[in-house]
Structure 1
């Protein structure tokens, strides 16, 4: 049976979890439709999700449509949990993007569609809540074309719009405007339509299906997840306009881990999308020692134990103790990619009871298995634990999860912005083995210089690869990347090129009877100890500049509110780039520091009588004006040679 791995995506409260419930009911998986407000939906299984009425973790549920198995993945809609959406994108064959007929195209909707189009993931748009007061049709279709994609084809209209009796009315061959929109998809269809009195409807619909499966066109359906109107047409559209997963079962094993959770006994369970081949129970991973001890696939609303999982399917795997989110299984060339901006906020987590610091770190490490982007970091000197965040709601969820699942009461320090450092010049340094003041049995020379924007940290060899054992080479490269997590001002250094210019070591020495003499032989620890000193010396010579994250904002306010809003934008360092007035609405777009976004969100309702609409998303980094802000270091500071050696070698 063909498999379709389908993602349901939306801005928060657009109704995607309710749509999931309706699809499961239509497929006969559930007898009664759950409600988000009642906390009894299938995919919101966490107690916290049920209590708050929002999706926090992605969830998989399976059902059949005709001869096709659909693995439906319900994803969070709140922007604080965008990382959970990101991990799902790489496993999808198609997507349904849910838009509210009342609220229309919202900030998260635009961000999601932008990524879906960039990745060419075939996507259907479902306009939900047509039965709600304030629901729109014509204006919303125009907004979808203008803000999401011009390549849309509305598949029907709505009768009794905005009432409980609202009914989705599908277009057919008799709807000339609809057919004309279809024939515009292809030049040959247009020519056939203009030269003949016959409307090539079936051929045109076939062309729509072909273009949609390639992600070039997006059919738009209208309906209501609550009443069920329009959902039948959507189900037909899912089978007609979205492609099934490739069934490459004879190829070498290839898969990707997009979710990790813990079972009742604390065992690690990996969610894997199989791209090719077949994985069986008791198979060892091609690139590791872990052995698969159990497999469960999704079928008809349940997770069912199976002896194997084949290409195209999603499975839960047991026994992979070393597995992490983003790991590749087998021969896959697919690498973990980031489609959304990284977290731009961070906070210190403090246990209510000082004796629970170790327990807190272990608990946060388990949470990081499920969300690596929270990036748990511990200051070994002050023993403080820091986590990265997308927003304040995520902080509340972490606090509640620690309390409910681990019995830990915690508090947080004030949330601060995560800045970065960029190299501004070129610097070089080296230290030679057995030459003062180098106390390590290693020679390391490094040069650092600026790299291309968004190029990351590039490491190069300016020496022969065979000049040292590979383990020493690897120790230097790994230590370089780790050291650059804290630059001259304590922020991560990005977008630079580091070249190894000098290398040297003492071969293994031994006494009689082959006793290893560490005092005369280089080890990897010598290179790990020396590299931070050399790299930070080079970095100090090159210099860095601190940059802060900048969001691109779009603001719509009543025209009469402009005079009150503008001074606030100035105080928040929000630079307007474009400004226009349409009717009674003033539209502004520009840049605002990420640190000020929350302040604007808080002030906007009172400034605009609740009518202001703000969209913002990370756009770029900008140099900080004035004195560079410093971040407290969490290591033994290789910029201070005496302090560093005192802790690393226990001597100066």
Structure 2
């Protein structure tokens, strides 16, 4: 297969939603259709022994939530599909935002009963900033939920995007009969089955009296009326508008019962974009360039707890990545080669000899990489737009077992490299402070330190309002500031100065009193 057609057949996308909308279950069913797994696991794992493929961390299995983005690749028809299943919980939104920089399109999962929720809105804003193409999957139709037209109105109003239904539900809840696939003009009747796939019945003429035999007279009348309204009110599917991020196709189904997922996948591989150009600070990079470029968007410690290994995830932006070939690590300015790059099926990985633009490759990391690092065939490039947050919650981290000091140090260092939280060392008392965007991250850090590194930590509360990175061209004023605010000064893991303000008033006064100091609320400046 030619270099160009290899890239054209790539589809790299993220699945995003509010927690509990069914994101990981949908991922699981997509893998089932791709033949990547043979039995779909469950997210809620209290009674079901097989857990979801993408939720492989021990804490994810216990809680039934995703706490880290999983990367999975499989072949479907003639396409190579890379799915990134992201955490829905807002405490891990940072991981999700970074993941959205590495995908070409997005599937948003919406619960039919709950409609658009807070986290969905936030994630949609990130997609809109980048004009990412979006497909919406309305899930859980086997339960009672909102009227379809009301839900479409809400999607348009809340997500700020025009919608275009490509399938339509026939009733819902206990009387759910199936969906009519507008895109392919066929009928799918609902039979609840968590492993098998329902067959389609071709129906190009919706007025065919045969329809009554399949779904009953009342449902047939309502379906015809609904489809007439849909055709009158909503625009026809326009591929260009979808690719520009202006139009969102909508599909209906029940991921848990394997229903509506195949229609979604079949349409997705046809309409979704192949790898798109990526904007670097220096220039725009086309995926079809011969030279390899890529950036690190995620680092994960302990994918294999037996080896204590870190894996850096690289999104390939252009060209072809090859094993054992020298590539330039731009930040370090040195050439590196990788003897065991890996492709993923969540935690399971296999060594790859080559990968193309659009693919995600894992590189073994011994502390060489940071999130946002660039790898190239030799060109000096820097990719932008990998956000790093200013934490909103802070706690002192203390060693609860002095015999395990080394393990704790290593655990903290590796988990901070993942970007799950930030480490600050207070210059006044030399104590370590962990900053996060949510309470749940503290629990995850404590759990992972204990179960992955054998180190015990305990938390002590500290009352802080905001962490801001400071810099100034006026050395004297900077020194004066650091003396005046000595007990609030810290350094981050890069050794940069950070001011830990304990209230908004203190921060405001500092900004007013020291005009020549720049206060940054993200670590990218």
TM-score by length of 1: 0.60
1:79-158 aligned at under 5 Å gives the runs: 79-158=90-169
| Distance apart, 1:337 and its partner CA | 2.0
CA root-mean-square deviation? 3.8
Is 1:215 the counterpart of 2:261? The answer is no
Q: Could you tell me which of 471, 478, 499 is aligned with 1:486?
A: 499
The 3 A distance-change label for structure 1 pair 319 and 178 is: same
Name the structure 2 match of 1:252. 291
1:573-592 aligned at under 5 Å gives the runs: none
Secondary structure in 2 matching 1:376: strand
Contact 1:6 1:93 in 2 (8 A): yes
CA distance in 2, matches of 1:303, 1:326: 23
CA distance in 1, matches of 2:66, 2:82: 18
CA distance in 2, matches of 1:490, 1:540: 16
| Distance apart, 1:360 and its partner CA | 2.2
Name the structure 2 match of 1:243. 273
Secondary structure in 2 matching 1:413: strand
CA distance in 1, matches of 2:446, 2:475: 45
| Distance apart, 1:77 and its partner CA | 0.4
Name the structure 1 match of 2:88. 77
Say which is worse superposed, 282-291 or 92-101, in terms of deviation.
Answer: 282-291
Is 1:317 the counterpart of 2:363? The answer is yes
CA distance in 2, matches of 1:490, 1:292: 47
CA distance in 1, matches of 2:367, 2:434: 23
CA distance in 1, matches of 2:366, 2:322: 13
| Distance apart, 1:341 and its partner CA | 5.4
The 3 A distance-change label for structure 1 pair 361 and 67 is: same
Gaps of 5+ in 2: 1-5, 186-203, 207-226, 277-285, 482-490
Secondary structure in 1 matching 2:93: helix
Say which is worse superposed, 299-308 or 153-162, in terms of deviation.
Answer: 299-308
Q: Could you tell me which of 212, 220, 224 is aligned with 2:254?
A: 224
Contact 2:394 2:464 in 1 (8 A): yes
Is 1:21 the counterpart of 2:28? The answer is yes
| Distance apart, 1:96 and its partner CA | 0.3
1:150-169 aligned at under 5 Å gives the runs: 150-163=161-174, 165-169=176-180
| Distance apart, 1:490 and its partner CA | 11
| Distance apart, 1:23 and its partner CA | 1.1
Gaps of 5+ in 1: 185-203, 431-444, 450-477, 496-535, 550-617, 619-652
Contact 1:12 1:78 in 2 (8 A): yes
Contact 2:144 2:174 in 1 (8 A): yes
Name the structure 2 match of 1:374. 421
Contact 2:466 2:501 in 1 (8 A): no
| Distance apart, 1:543 and its partner CA | 8.6
1:569-608 aligned at under 5 Å gives the runs: none
CA distance in 2, matches of 1:260, 1:67: 30
CA distance in 2, matches of 1:316, 1:427: 39
The 3 A distance-change label for structure 1 pair 181 and 245 is: farther
The 3 A distance-change label for structure 1 pair 347 and 136 is: farther
Secondary structure in 2 matching 1:266: coil
Instruction: Report how many aligned residue pairs link the two structures.
Output: 440
Name the structure 2 match of 1:9. 16
Contact 1:158 1:169 in 2 (8 A): yes
The 3 A distance-change label for structure 1 pair 391 and 166 is: farther
The 3 A distance-change label for structure 1 pair 540 and 289 is: farther
The 3 A distance-change label for structure 1 pair 368 and 98 is: same
Contact 2:465 2:500 in 1 (8 A): no
Deviation sequence 1:73-123 (CA, Å, 0-9, x none) = 100000000111022111101110001111211110100111111111111
Q: With a CA cutoff of 8 Å and minimum separation of 6, indicate the structure with the bigger relative contact order.
A: 2
Contact 1:105 1:143 in 2 (8 A): yes
| Distance apart, 1:338 and its partner CA | 4.6
The 3 A distance-change label for structure 1 pair 21 and 542 is: closer
Contact 2:469 2:498 in 1 (8 A): no
CA distance in 1, matches of 2:143, 2:512: 59
| Distance apart, 1:291 and its partner CA | 2.4
Name the structure 2 match of 1:394. 441
Secondary structure in 1 matching 2:173: coil
Name the structure 1 match of 2:342. 296
Deviation sequence 1:197-248 (CA, Å, 0-9, x none) = xxxxxxx54xx12221221211111111011222122112212331111583
| Distance apart, 1:4 and its partner CA | 0.7
TM-score by length of 2: 0.74
Contact 1:8 1:98 in 2 (8 A): yes
| Distance apart, 1:163 and its partner CA | 2.2
Name the structure 2 match of 1:615. none
Q: Could you tell me which of 306, 322, 325 is aligned with 2:352?
A: 306
Is 1:364 the counterpart of 2:401? The answer is no
The 3 A distance-change label for structure 1 pair 384 and 428 is: closer
Contact 2:142 2:172 in 1 (8 A): yes
The 3 A distance-change label for structure 1 pair 259 and 62 is: same
The 3 A distance-change label for structure 1 pair 418 and 355 is: farther
Say which is worse superposed, 335-344 or 481-490, in terms of deviation.
Answer: 481-490
The 3 A distance-change label for structure 1 pair 365 and 211 is: same
